[in-house]
Amino acid sequence: MSTVFHRHPRYAVLVFAILAGTVWLLFADSHGPILQSGSRDLSLSARVSRAENIYQKILKGRKGLIGKFGPTPEKITMFPPDVSPWPPYTVWDFFPPAFNCPHERERIGTLGDGGKWVCGLSRVEDKKNCVVYSFGINGESSFEAEILNRTNHCEIWGYDFSVNSFGPEIPASEKHRTHFHPYGLAGNDNHGPENKVKYYTLQSLMDLNDHKFIDILKIDVESWEFEVLAAFVEPYLQSDRPLPFGQLQIELHTWDKEFPELLKWWEKLEQGGLRPFFQEPNMVYNNYNRGRHQDLTEYSFINIRGRNAFVSDD
């Protein structure tokens, strides 16, 4: 073969060109649209669009799964009883984290309970007026500490009525970028002088702090998350405004929840533009509560509506 190539170099060049062209076309076909210039569209808007196309397939799949095991949401149980050889599904099968984070995806904070999965922390590394809200401190602030260490301007507002401050992970040199209040988060305000614990809605706290937008929102409030987000999201849906945060890290506590209730709540988040890009079961909870269903799990969402730092270059 090498002798043929030496004697007929033009033939060798032609063969190489054909092989290279074939490889290029196969790669292009499997990796997305090609621009007229011959290169794949790698812009942020294109990456988000491709991820949304993939996620829309999941929505169709969810309808199919409900039809298979329901056939209506009212007939779906969260965690069906054991059947041979195994239960056919769990509630989390209906809500996979199928949206592709268009940036680096990494765990921020400690391994194990306390850390959270974030999409594109680098996008706010130098962002001026970067705002982070953290609900549920519980004496552990490795997540908040790493955000402070990795960004230049982000400030963090923390809330938890069960403790008096952020955890010990916050270095003294960065405490000027933190703001702590022993308040509870709820679906309605209840913070009169007679209340031992003062409860605020998310919108009330934003108004109190004069914040129009939150870049990263972390919520871990022991099942209050359902009423908190339902109350917060609804006015934005009614007025067709984008939700005023870039991404959401949340622990879901599905204690005593029914599937139609969870489905309706989840679909409200999706309607508002939230897309799950990561899920992590709470294995600490599982270990201490063996024999129970996996009714606690962590989700991370990115907001694809509006022009926030995670989906827009503006």
| CA–CA dist 77, 260 (Å, integer) | 9
Q: Are 216 and 303 in contact (CB under 8 A)?
A: no
- For the chain, give every domain's residue range: 1-41, 44-303
Query: Pseudo-torsion of CA 119, 282, 63, 237, nearest 10°?
Result: -60
Q: Residue 88: what pLDDT? A: 87
Per-residue pLDDT of the chain (314 residues; tens, 9 = 90+): 445 445 555 545 444 555 555 444 444 444 444 444 456 788 999 999 999 999 999 999 999 999 999 999 999 999 888 777 777 899 999 999 999 999 999 999 998 888 999 999 999 999 999 999 999 998 999 999 999 999 999 999 999 999 999 999 999 999 999 999 999 999 999 998 889 999 999 999 999 999 999 999 999 998 999 999 999 999 999 999 999 999 999 999 999 899 999 999 999 999 999 999 999 987 666 666 665 677 889 999 999 999 999 999 98
Closest CA to 216 of 98, 306, 300, 104: 300
Q: Residue 119: what pLDDT? A: 98
Lookup: tokens for 3: 């002798």
| CA–CA dist 172, 163 (Å, integer) | 18
| CA–CA dist 181, 164 (Å, integer) | 8
Q: What are phi and psi of 212, to 5 degrees?
A: -95, -20
CATH 2.60.40 fits 44-303, yes or no: no
Beta-sheet strand order (sheet of 274-281): 178-181, 155-159, 131-135, 214-219, 245-253, 296-303, 274-281
Q: Residue 169: what pLDDT? A: 97
